[in-house]
Chain A
Amino acid sequence: MKFMLDFTDTGAINMRIAVLSGKGGTGKTLVSVNLAAVLKESIYIDCDVEEPNGHLFFKPEGVREEEISVKIPIVDKELCNGCRKCVDFCKFNALAYINNQLIVFDEVCHSCGGCILVCPEKALTEKEKVIGKVQKGTSEQVDIYTGILNTGESTGVPIIKKLLEENLQANKQTIIDCPPGSACVVMESIKDADYCVLVAEPTLFGVHNLNMVYDLVKLFNKPFGVVLNKCLEEENPAEKFCLENNIKILGHIPFDNELGTLNSNAEIAVYKDKKYRDMFSSLLKTVKKEVQHETTTNS
């Protein structure tokens, strides 16, 4: 409770914190899930729609589902005169004209609406195609939003858009668990974030990929800091990278077999042991201070 009071005392606005990493497996979900849990009243959004994992930890109840669909063209055969303007226009090759019939390839279509515009006979209209879903549930006082992309679909961007749109006016702290990498799905996930927490592991690969998301958050002008995870006694190449580039280090999570086991069993560490509750509370406090600092310097 102490931290809730600190927070409202400083009159902070609700913040949206995105947790990302570049490399997979560094601990994004570990950090996001535990930050959301230690906040007590919060919203946890899983934007890793290809491989969502947060819900496995929270085991949300009262889950409601909403299907997410995209618009796909359909043709009115009576009106189609075979001019093939749509086939020629489509940059994604989603249309073919065979045996006097127009065929639409749903999975390849990017839903740009172009073919509908170019058709001189107004023979094309749009129908909805389901590509995945958004699940909303609760666990204790955390609202859990999970995005799930159906296997075989190529892009989760529309699902991420829906997840974030729904929560734009939220009156609770929001933690956004991002996908790995730095491609379009990651960009979409951090678009409206107030602050980015980059999770890094002390390996050669980890630093290489940290560099990539570092470039990404700078490109988007997002304030950010780094959490060093799985820290060992030896020299930490990720820490070295942060020091060399004047990057704020938010905290160190030591390599810890017990924490690893809890995590591999999808248990929320802060609920299991006071030492983890303290560790993540401390991390949260540091993050809040950083966000405060950003909002005051930018206002």
Chain B
Amino acid sequence: MKIAIPVDEKTLESNVCVSFGRTPYFLIYDVETKESIFIDNSAATSTGGAGIKAAQIIVDNKANVLLTPRLGKNATDVLKPAKIKIYKTTTTSAKNNIDAFIADKLALLDEIHAGFHGHGGN
């Protein structure tokens, strides 16, 4: 199983990035092999649709699970059909969140916010 997390730096000890769409890097952690790879998030410098592009990157890298503090509706609309489960991070460290997830201590992310272009607004 592969876990994706938005991170500020390219280390396992890095803080989780508060923004999914514009995080500088994604950490993809393989639970079985315990291998970590870091991907540059090319969506970070987009003038728009960052959440969509970032989500496409996660999907293309075959992640099964995403751990993130928050997620916008656009990114959710990409991840849901790809059947990627989304959990809410609880601490700041990427490693701690991975451990918490493996120990079944994380909850599913329920609150989806409207993001940049207010989909769902009137």
Q: Which residues of A contact B (CB under 8 A)?
A: 87, 90, 92-99, 101, 103, 105-108, 150-154
* 30 chain-A/chain-B pairs, Cβ below 8 angstroms: A87-B56, A90-B49, A92-B48, A93-B43, A93-B46, A93-B48, A93-B49, A93-B52, A93-B53, A94-B49, A94-B52, A96-B56, A96-B59, A96-B78, A98-B56, A98-B59, A101-B81, A103-B77, A105-B49, A105-B52, A105-B74, A108-B49, A108-B117, A150-B122, A152-B114, A152-B118, A152-B120, A152-B121, A153-B118, A154-B116
Tell me the bound Cα distance from A92 to B116 in angstroms: 13
Contacts of A105 in B (CB 8 A): 49, 52, 74, 77
Residue of A nearest to B80 (CB): A98
- The number of residue pairs between A and B whose CB atoms lie closer than 8 Å in the complex comes to 67
Given A98-B59, A151-B121, 9 new contacts (CB under 8 A): A93-B46, A96-B55, A98-B81, A99-B83, A103-B78, A108-B48, A108-B74, A108-B116, A153-B118
Do residues A153 and B78 form an inter-chain contact, with CB atoms below 8 A?
Answer: no
Tell me the bound Cα distance from A98 to B59 in angstroms: 7
Do residues B49 and A152 form an inter-chain contact, with CB atoms below 8 A?
Answer: no
Tell me the bound Cα distance from A106 to B49 in angstroms: 10
Partner of A97, one of B46, B50, B56, B114: B56
Residues of chain B from 85 to 122 with CB closer than 8 A to chain A in the complex: 114, 116-122
Do residues B52 and A96 form an inter-chain contact, with CB atoms below 8 A?
Answer: yes
Contacts of A154 in B (CB 8 A): 116-117
The secondary-structure label for the interface of chain B is loop
Q: Does B39 contact A (CB under 8 A)?
A: no
Contacts of A98 in B (CB 8 A): 56, 59, 78, 81-82
Q: Does B47 contact A (CB under 8 A)?
A: yes
Least Cβ distance of A163 to chain B in Å? 22
Least Cβ distance of A33 to chain B in Å? 27
The secondary-structure label for the interface of chain A is loop
Residue of A nearest to B42 (CB): A93
Residue of A nearest to B56 (CB): A96
Tell me the bound Cα distance from A23 to B117 in angstroms: 25
Least Cβ distance of B110 to chain A in Å? 21
Do residues B56 and A107 form an inter-chain contact, with CB atoms below 8 A?
Answer: no
Tell me the bound Cα distance from A97 to B60 in angstroms: 9
Contacts of B121 in A (CB 8 A): 151-152
Do residues A99 and B81 form an inter-chain contact, with CB atoms below 8 A?
Answer: yes
Contacts of B49 in A (CB 8 A): 90, 92-94, 105, 108
Do residues A151 and B43 form an inter-chain contact, with CB atoms below 8 A?
Answer: no
4 nearest A-B residue pairs (beta carbon): A93-B49, A152-B118, A152-B121, A107-B117
Residue of B nearest to A90 (CB): B49
Contacts of A152 in B (CB 8 A): 114, 117-122
Tell me the bound Cα distance from A86 to B50 in angstroms: 16
Tell me the bound Cα distance from A93 to B7 in angstroms: 21
Least Cβ distance of B65 to chain A in Å? 16
Contacts of B119 in A (CB 8 A): 106-107, 152
Least Cβ distance of A286 to chain B in Å? 43
Least Cβ distance of A227 to chain B in Å? 35
Least Cβ distance of A196 to chain B in Å? 29
Residue of A nearest to B47 (CB): A92
Do residues A108 and B59 form an inter-chain contact, with CB atoms below 8 A?
Answer: no
Tell me the bound Cα distance from A93 to B59 in angstroms: 15
Least Cβ distance of A193 to chain B in Å? 29
Residue of A nearest to B121 (CB): A152
Residues of chain B from 51 to 75 with CB closer than 8 A to chain A in the complex: 52-53, 55-56, 59, 74
Residue of A nearest to B75 (CB): A96
Residue of B nearest to A95 (CB): B52
Least Cβ distance of A183 to chain B in Å? 14
Tell me the bound Cα distance from A141 to B106 in angstroms: 65
Among A90, A93, A151, A154, find the residue whose CB has the most chain B CB atoms closer than 10 A.
Answer: A93
